[in-house]
Structure formats: structure tokens, C-alpha cells
Chains A and B, each alone.
Chain A
């Protein structure tokens, strides 16, 4: 099935054909932003980047038997500020849930996240591409905790070693999920620039993609222009700059079009962006299998955040003061 293999050629070659014009790219972005709180989301440990491995940990973020989470009020406030800035609806009562999967850098065997009752729903980010403004809708913004980091140093004498650093375990994140309304890599790039602008302006995230305080996964599909049904999507991870998000989307768009044009079908899968090779490659089976998470909205042990309307209005920034309007 050589015809279905991803093309090794550069994007410009693929664009030479007439096919791309007949297709529309559909992209939805999931952005994880680390919140600039001094302490973690459920304990008092520092969130400072770059400390010696496993020095910013305690029984709570290590997930030792018997510990319980205590919600960081500032993390909630930062998430609410972001929600208001994008014009979303803040839920007065939002609920945390557990996402269960086994992985060595996930000490409790589940991630505390939000499932069916996120902190914020809706909202938009305005982008400026090709001389026109366009509104990209948001599905939701929810709060969750970050996992630790697995490091794979060169094995000694052929031994595969994985080291786990749990300094990052429990760092507060907001996940910002866009509607599938982005139509190109360039639009994705501008969306990220403007979203980062909002986060940095609000001073809730430092926006540093290299240190991982802003991370982005892209869901990409293509469909013939005029068709309302979505095509089969793939998820691309491991993009460490806005430019790489743009490149990865362009690459994946063309791969999918080429595949369809040659009579093949897109398989729903997770791809890892390889910036050096300039291509997205299938994730290792092992990682895919382990990350196939089972979401369970167990109310147990999960905190419920209750907010007062008046509190949101008083503390939240003025919606008109967001950077998009100032520019």
C-alpha cells in the first residue's frame, strides 16, 4: 500500500496539484496553559520551573496513600479571569472528576480534571488572517492538574531506564478547547498568538512553549468543500512552538488529502510531530494504549468548586479591557 504512505516530499510540491483547492481543512485546538500560581493546584509545593528533580514534592502531589486535594483558590480565580476575558459563561457550580489511566508519571493513577461540568463554557478568540477578522468559538475551559515528567536517558549497558520527575505533578493547568472552526495552519498560528496574548495580558500564564507552560494539541481533518459532515480526524501532539503547530497542520492536511485522492482512508490515530524531520509520525503503540484514558466522573475525593456570582463580577477583569480590543 505504497500509495497510502505519508508523502516525504515538501509541502510546496503537494500544493502543486489541484486537489487542495477542492478540500477544506478543519482544525480544533486543545491548549494546555500552566497557571502562574506560586503553589500547585492541590498542595503548597512550589511550581517553579527548573528545580532539581523531585525536590518540589510532598505527600499530596506524590499521591501517597491517605492524602486529599485542597483546591488552590488562585488557580480557580485565574481560570475564571480567562473565561471572562474570552466571553465564556462561568459555571457557578463546577465539578472535578478523575481521569483514570496507568502511567509512571501519574502518581495517583488518575488525573484530577473536569468532565461534564467545566468551569467555563463557550467564548471566542478573535483572529486576524488574510486581512479579515474571524471569531473562533471555544467549547470550554476547564481546570486540571499536570502530570509529572518521564525522562528517558541513554540506557546504561543496553538497559532501558526511565526516570520520573514529579516536580510538575500537580501544577495547575487550564485546558482551552476550541470549536473545530480553524481552517488552516496560518489561522491556528494566529489563534495561538492571540490566545497567548490574552493569557499573558491577564498575567495568568507566562506563555513559554519551550518550558512547556503552553502546550498545544491539534485535531485535524479534511473534507470536500461544501460538505457539512466532518472527515475522520487525527490528533497531533508534541509540537513545541506556534510555528511547528502551523507546519504540522499543513503537513497533516496534505497527507490526508493525498491519502483521500489516492483512494485511501484516514485512520483515527494519534501522531507525534517530529520537528527535525518535518513530519508527523504515528505514536508508539505503547503510549497510545496507556493513554487511552477512561474518564470517570467520580464525585468522590474530587473537589467541587462553588463560586458566587458577585465574586466573579467584582474580581474579574473588565471584558472590554482584553488585549484584542486594545489593539
Chain B
């Protein structure tokens, strides 16, 4: 019980110190809780936070260690959870009015795993309503701000999780990624964000948006920390028939082996859609560095990736329209007053859902309706298969594909809210891997001249998250470009 914990320390070192009883979980938790109390009101990172509960969880970890229990590397590590992960007795709203006040009677699989591991929960983080959005502006409650520039969005939909890790309010966080909702906010906030292979992490207790695309993924400040959190949540769970035993923990030391002999593909054809020059420059810098470290850089093509957005905006809303049918005001959540059943349904859903959610339910219902099913949904599923084959082909030659996470740096709040298409186009580089079900990692590659984070993305073969983290770890070590801390986390007064 000696030195004061430094929140800049990695989750790995915090966990080690707590397990070795060099410091108490309570001490660690207190530092993060105090930090969140200072910065969170300005960033609006969370929808629900209870500092006393966080300290109580930490005290429980100390008691368990005291009694001789062996805990995981995450013991005592403060972790934030996106508000679409069910937490027993803790509000879970998915950023929606329709679930205001809803208390789940059970824990999501990942939450259960983290509790068992001795992790300490800091907050339920803000997100776009039902994870539908790319800026966290679609939260029914308030938008979250980017820690690097409070006038800009943190990305979305897991914007609260990304911002809370960037601002050092939590050491790690979980988000969910359907078309880029972990990777894009990770890039915008300058942290690591992994979308695991579809099936690597059980979705039990993740409130469904588009079931064939949704995956839970970690946010962290180092590649090793990403692996640490991934290792705790991956693998087969009997309650999710799509979860797979192929997803096995990553050996942390394997991340240190460098990239010599590795083949890294660049999809030049896809990049022609238009990328901010500073992001292109960053991509070139990283490519050069990895080449210098012994990686072979080659060109790959993803000819069908350009159809990804159109495909995604048929498949995801179609699935969402069905998944969100249960919010009808009958059993839980918000219910609009009315005299008969039909009106109750209509006005509960009309008032309880926000614009973007209603838009997608309508799109999806249309795409699935009789007479249009073959022309839209079925056709989209066929294109999805072509996109998946593109990746299979490219990854026969390359061990991983390197491309930007987003075409632009973080945009300003309000800049795209009235233009859904422009908002959708921001996901051009993240959606293809979602359709393919492939693992994809966004890692911080530098900052723009105006000090905004840039993220690059690595996409790999199914269940080969380890290779992506190894490449990112190599860049992390050799870049000489520390992760950086946004002014707000330094107690800076910039607003």
C-alpha cells in the first residue's frame, strides 16, 4: 500500500499490482472515480454511474484477494460498459427512452465473466440509441464529446466507451460493433478498439441490433491491454449458439515477436473512394515503418467492398426491425397512455424511439416485406457473400489487410446529424469487415496537425485476432509516438 496509482498505467500493470497486493483495488478505483467526477460532466461519457458502487466492487476484490482467492489479470481493473450490455440490477437503456428505468434481471455473458475476474465497473457508457449511429449524437439523452476537442464527436455508436478510456476515466471499456461501432470511435478518440471475429465473443446479454453482425469488443490504451480484455471474454458460451470454441486466448508474449516475414495487404482500389490526406499520410508512415521492420507490403483488391454500405443498410435495418419489435410497451420500459391496444403500440414506439431508430425500422420492415424480400434482403445477402469471398481471397495472400478506419478525422457535433447519408458514408472502411465477419482492429497511428487522433485498421483471418494485435504492437513500440493524453484528462482547462 505505497505509491499512488497512476491512471496512465496500463490495465496490465494495474492488475498485476492489485493481485500482488502492492496496492488495493479501492485505491485504484478511487483515482478513476475522482477523475470521472471531474471530466465526465464536460464529456458526458456515461448514462449511469455510481461511484459508491464502483468502490464497493473494488472493496470486494480486495476481500477476495485477502481470502486467498486467485483472480485474473483484470482483478481490480476499472472497466466501463456500453449501455447495451445487460447488467443485473443496474440500469440498461441502450441510449433509448423506450428503456428508460429498465433494470435487467440478469448479467450479460461478458459482464458475468468480468465480475468473476474481479474487474471493477465504472459506468454504463453513452451510445447512439440501440447502437445505431456513428457519432453518439443519436443518444436519446445527450451527445458525448470528443476528449481531444470538445466541439467534435467521439464517434459512435460506442462513443461513450471510447471517450471514457481516452480521458482515463476507465482503464478499459467494452463496446459493441455492428458496422464499425467500436473501431470508428476508437479511431476518433485515439485508443485501440477491436471488433473480434463474429462468434468469438458470446452475445448473450448484448441487446440485439443486427444479430448477424453484432460483436462485443474491447477498448484499451495498449495492444496488450486489448488482448488482456479479449482473453477474458472470448470463447464458447452455451447460451449463444453462434459463439465458437475456436476463439482462444491470445498469448501476450506472442505480441512482442515483431512482423518480420509477415505479409500485409493494402486495398488500393477501396482507398480510391477518397481519404483525408493526413490519414493517407499516416497510412504511408505506418506502412513504411512496418516494411522497415521486415513486413512485406503488397497490394490486395476487395472488388465488392464498394457495395458494402448499400448492402449493410439493407441487412442491418432488416434485422433491427425484427429485433426491436419487442419494445411494445406491454411488459417493460416506456408505455404511452392510450385507450386501445393498436394506439398504445403505435404511440409507444412513435414516442419511445428516436428518429434514426424509426428510420431504420421502416427501412428494414420495407426490405423484408412480401414482394420486396427477394429484391432487397436476399440480394443483399448474396452481395454479402461476395464481400466475404473478397476477404477470403485477399487473406490467402496477406496475413492482414491494412486500411484507414475512417475516411476523415472526427467531425464536429451537429455537422452530419441532418444528413444521414453523409453519416453512413463515414463507415465505408469499417463495414466490409463486419459483413465478412472478420476480426478488425483500429489502432492509434498518430494525430493530425490540429491534434486530432487518427486511427488505422487491420483486418485478419477468422479467429486470428492475435496477428492484428501483434502488428499493432510492433507499430506501438517502434513509432516513438506515445498514445498521448487529451488535455481534459491532464486536468487541462480547455473547453
Q: Which residues of A contact B208 (CB under 8 A)?
A: 65-66, 301
Chain B CB within 8 A of A108 CB: yes
Decide if B323 is an interface residue (CB 8 Å cutoff): yes
In the bound complex, CA of A7 to CA of B333 (Å):
49
Among B194-237, those with CB < 8 Å from A are 203-208, 210-212
Query: Among B105, B204, B212, which residue has its beta carbon within 8 angstroms of that of A68?
Result: B204
Q: Is the Cβ of B326 less than 8 Å from the Cβ of A109?
A: yes
B206 contacts across to A, CB distance below 8 A: 66
Contact B322 A102 (CB under 8 A): no
Number of A residues near B (Cβ < 8 Å) is: 32
Closest A residue to B370 by CB, please name it. A294
Q: Are B331 and A298 in contact (CB under 8 A)?
A: no
Contact B373 A301 (CB under 8 A): no
Q: CA–CA, A126 to B239, complex, Å?
A: 41
B92 interface residue, CB < 8 Å from A?
yes
A285 CB → nearest B CB, Å: 11
Pick the contact of A300 from B102, B210, B330, B341 — CB < 8 Å? Answer: B210
- B239:A70 contact, CB within 8 angstroms: yes
Give the complex CA separation of A70 and B238 in angstroms: 8
Residues of chain A lying within 8 A (CB to CB) of residue B105: 59, 64
**Residues of chain A lying within 8 A (CB to CB) of residue B326:** 63, 65, 107-109
Cβ of B104 under 8 Å from chain A: yes
Bound state CA distance, A62 and B331, in angstroms? 9
Contact A301 B319 (CB under 8 A): yes
On chain A, the residues within 8 Å of B342 by CB distance are: 286, 289-290
Interface 1/0 per residue, A49-68 and B, CB below 8 Å: 00000000001001111111
Tell me whether B302 is interfacial, beta carbon within 8 Å: no
Q: Mark B332-358, 1 if CB is under 8 A from A, else 0.
A: 100000000110010000000000000
How far apart sit A290 and B342, CA to CA, in the bound complex (Å)? 9
Is residue A268 contacting chain B, with contact meaning CB distance below 8 A?
Answer: no
Q: A233: shortest Cβ distance to chain B, in Å?
A: 19
Indicate whether A303 reaches chain B with its CB closer than 8 angstroms: yes
Q: Given A66-B205, A296-B322, A298-B368, are A303 and B241 neighbors across the interface (CB < 8 Å)?
A: yes
Q: Does B469 contact A (CB under 8 A)?
A: no
Docked Cα-Cα span, A63 to B325, in Å, equals 10
User: A307 at the A/B interface (Cβ < 8 Å)?
Assistant: no
Whether B86 sits at the interface, judged by CB under 8 Å, is yes
Q: Does B328 contact A (CB under 8 A)?
A: yes
- A187 to chain B minimum Cβ distance, whole angstroms, is 32
Q: Are B325 and A65 in contact (CB under 8 A)?
A: no
Q: Is B368 in contact with A108, judged by CB distance below 8 angstroms?
A: no
Residue B284 lies at the interface, judged by CB distance under 8 Å to chain A? no
Is A110's CB within 8 Å of the partner chain B? yes
User: Digit string of B65-97 for contact with A (CB within 8 Å is 1, else 0)?
Assistant: 000000000000000000011100000101000
Taking the closest CB of chain A, its distance from the CB of B329, in whole angstroms, is 10
List chain B residues, Cβ under 8 A from A323: none
Q: In the bound complex, do residue A100 and residue B322 qualify as a contact, i.e. CB atoms below 8 Å apart?
A: yes
Known A63-B326, A65-B104, A68-B240; contact A102-B211, beta-carbon cutoff 8 A: no
B13 within 8 Å of A by Cβ?
no
Query: For the side of the interface on B, what is the size category?
Result: 35 or more
Smallest CB–CB gap between A296 and chain B, Å? 4
Q: Once the chains bind, are A102 and B325 in contact (CB under 8 Å)?
A: yes
- How far is B433's CA from A49's CA once the two chains are assembled, in angstroms? 47
Looking across the interface, which residue of chain A has its beta carbon closest to that of B99? A65
Confirm or deny: B166 has a beta carbon within 8 angstroms of a beta carbon on chain A: no
User: What's the least CB distance linking B291 to chain A, in Å?
Assistant: 41
Choose one: B325, B369, B377; the contact of A109 (CB below 8 Å): B325
- Tell me the chain A residues, 48-99 only, with Cβ under 8 Å from chain B: 59, 62-71, 98
Q: What CA separation (Å) do A294 and B204 show in the bound complex?
A: 27
Residues of chain B with a CB closer than 8 A to A62's CB: 331
B495: min CB distance to chain A, Å = 36
B319→A59 contact, CB < 8 A: no
Task: Provide the residues of chain A in CB contact with B318, threshold 8 Å.
Answer: 296, 298
A264 adjacent to chain B (CB < 8 Å): no
- For B92, list chain A residues within 8 Å (CB): 65
A303 to B370, CA, bound (A): 22
A317 is an interface residue with CB less than 8 A from chain B: no
Q: B residues within 8 A CB of A63?
A: 326
Whether B322 lies near A98 (C-beta < 8 A) is: yes
A306 to nearest B CB, angstroms?
11
CA distance A59 to B102 in the complex (A): 14
From known contacts A59-B105, A65-B94, infer whether A300 and B86 are also in contact, taking CB-CB under 8 Å: no
Question: CB-defined interface of B165-209 with A at 8 Å, one 1/0 digit per residue?
Answer: 000000000000000000000000000000000000001111110
Question: Is residue A20 contacting chain B, with contact meaning CB distance below 8 A?
Answer: no
Query: Which residues of chain A come closer than 8 Å to B325, judged between CB atoms?
Result: 100, 102, 108-110
CA distance A108 to B325 in the complex (A): 6
Q: Which residues of B lie under 8 Å from residue A100 when comparing CB positions?
A: 321-322, 325, 368
- The answer on a CB contact under 8 Å between A65 and B86 is yes
A282 within 8 Å of B by Cβ?
Answer: no
Q: Please tell me if the beta carbons of A104 and B319 are within 8 angstroms of each other in the complex.
A: no
Decide: A110 near B104, CB < 8 A? Known: A102-B328, A294-B370.
no
Q: A68 with B203: in contact, given A100-B322, A109-B322, A301-B323 (CB under 8 Å)?
A: yes
Q: Is the CB of A298 within 8 A of B322?
A: yes
Q: Cβ of B330 and Cβ of A104 under 8 Å apart?
A: yes
Q: Are B204 and A67 closer than 8 Å at their CB atoms? A: yes
User: In this assembly, does A299 line the interface, its C-beta being within 8 Å of a C-beta of chain B?
Assistant: yes
Q: Contacts A298-B368, A301-B211 known; A66 to B104 CB distance under 8 Å?
A: yes
Shortest beta-carbon distance from A50 to chain B in Å: 23
B104 & A64 in contact (Cβ 8 Å cutoff): yes
Q: Is B279 an interface residue (CB 8 A)?
A: no
Question: Once the chains are docked, how many angstroms separate the CA of A303 from the CA of B211?
Answer: 11
List the A side residues contacting B309 at CB < 8 Å.
none
Contact B102 A65 (CB under 8 A): yes
Q: Which residues of B contact A102 (CB under 8 A)?
A: 325, 328, 345
Q: Is the CB of B241 within 8 A of A104?
A: no
Q: Is B108 an interface residue (CB 8 A)?
A: yes
For B104, the chain A residues whose CB sits under 8 A away are: 59, 64-66
Indicate if the CB atoms of A70 and B210 lie closer than 8 Å: no
The complex places the Cα of A64 from the Cα of B327 at a distance, in Å, of 9
Chain A, 136-181, CB within 8 A of any chain B CB: 164
- Bound-state CA distance A100–B320 (Å) is 12
- What are 30 contact pairs spanning A and B, CB under 8 A? A64-B104, A64-B106, A65-B99, A65-B104, A66-B84, A67-B204, A67-B205, A68-B203, A68-B204, A70-B238, A70-B239, A100-B321, A100-B322, A100-B368, A102-B325, A107-B330, A107-B331, A109-B324, A109-B326, A286-B342, A294-B369, A294-B370, A296-B368, A296-B377, A297-B373, A298-B322, A298-B377, A299-B212, A300-B210, A301-B211
Q: A65-B104, A296-B377 are in contact. List 20 more A-B contacts (CB 8 A).
A: A59-B105, A65-B92, A65-B94, A65-B99, A65-B102, A66-B86, A66-B207, A66-B208, A67-B204, A100-B325, A102-B345, A104-B341, A107-B326, A107-B330, A110-B322, A289-B342, A296-B322, A297-B373, A300-B210, A303-B241
Residues of B within 8 A of A (CB): 84-86, 92, 94, 99, 102, 104-106, 108, 203-208, 210-212, 238-241, 318-319, 321-326, 328, 330-332, 341-342, 345, 365, 368-370, 373, 377, 381
Q: Enumerate the 10 nearest inter-chain pairs by beta-carbon distance, A residue then B residue, closest first.
A: A109-B325, A300-B211, A301-B211, A296-B368, A300-B319, A300-B212, A65-B207, A66-B205, A66-B86, A66-B207
